[in-house]
Structures are given as structure tokens and as C-alpha cells.
Amino acid sequence: MTHREDIEDVLGRYAHAYDDRDAEGVGATFAPDGVLSLQIAGGDPLGPWEGREAIVEMMAATLATQSDQRRHLASTFTLDSCDGERATARSYLTLVAVADGALTVLSTGRYVDEMVRVDGTWLIARRHIALDLPY
């Protein structure tokens, strides 16, 4: 695989883990000292959650409040820079939910990611999620 494919794979594993309600799996896509931040509809920034443990705790708490089936659809991926050890990438998010037999688009947004190779494996060093709508 190329660096681009490896990085896209990590970001896909993040989405699958979240949609499978696997907070530990989400955490496994982050570097041990990874950072996650969030902004909803241009509001005040949330976080940052610093370190894999803090990210897993936040994800577990968030997942516990959700009763629908979420699907995180990432698209329009761009690899802005990559030197083989660090990379930056951007992608769009379409967040949908299925509940009571209905499909609802909850929000769109953007992921901005800084990636790092740790022991030969690409991981998220820093992720900022900017949602266009509150959900």
C-alpha cells in the first residue's frame, strides 16, 4: 500500500469503529498522545481531548447517549502533505443516522487530520472535526 492508502485506511477504521460503537477501536486509530477537538456549527471549540485514554473516555460517553445507528461517510479526501513520517489530510463528513425505519442526515462537516507513523503504522496525531450543523 502507499502512504495515501494506509492513511485512508486508518481514517476508515476510525469511522467503522465509531459506527460499531467501539470506543477502544476509535482510540486505537490515534497515537498514544493524540489530540481530538470539535467545533459544532461555528460555536465554541470543544476539547481538546488529549491522549488516547481521554479520547476513548469521551467517545464511550458520547456513544452511550446514542440510540440510533450512525454512519460516518468520509469523502473528498485530500492528502495535503506527506514526508513518509508525518502527513496532513482533509476530508468531508456526511453524518447519517437510522432510527425507527428512517434515514436522517444529521450533519455535514470536515475532518482536518495530522497523521504520524508510530512503529511503522500511521495513526492520527491530531484530528479536528468541524460540523456544519448541531445534531
d(CA 8, CA 3): 9
Q: What is the pTM of this model?
A: 0.95
> Which structural domain, as residue segments, surrounds residue 106?
3-131
Give pLDDT tens digits for 78-93: 999 999 999 999 999 9
Q: What is the pLDDT of residue 1?
A: 77
Neighbour count for residue 31 (Cβ, 10 Å): 19
Which strands sit side by side in the sheet containing 30-40, from one edge to the other? 46-50, 30-40, 121-131, 102-118, 86-99, 69-82
Phi-psi region of 120 (alpha: psi -120 to 50; beta: other; left: phi over 0): left
CATH for 90:
3.10.450.50
Instruction: Answer whether 74's CB lies under 8 Å from 96's CB.
Output: no
Q: Which pLDDT score, from 0 to 100, does residue 135 have?
A: 74
Question: pLDDT tens digits for the chain (135 residues)?
Answer: 799 999 999 999 999 999 999 999 999 999 999 999 999 999 999 999 999 999 999 999 999 999 999 999 999 999 999 999 999 999 999 999 999 999 999 999 999 999 999 999 999 999 999 999 987
In sequence order, the 6+-apart residues with CB closer than 8 A to the CB of 98 are 68, 69, 71, 104
* Number of independent structural domains in the chain: 1
pLDDT tens digits, residue range 4-19? 999 999 999 999 999 9
- Cα separations (Å) of 23 from 35, 52, 56, 61, 122? 15, 10, 5, 9, 19
Q: List the beta bridge partners of residue 73.
A: 94
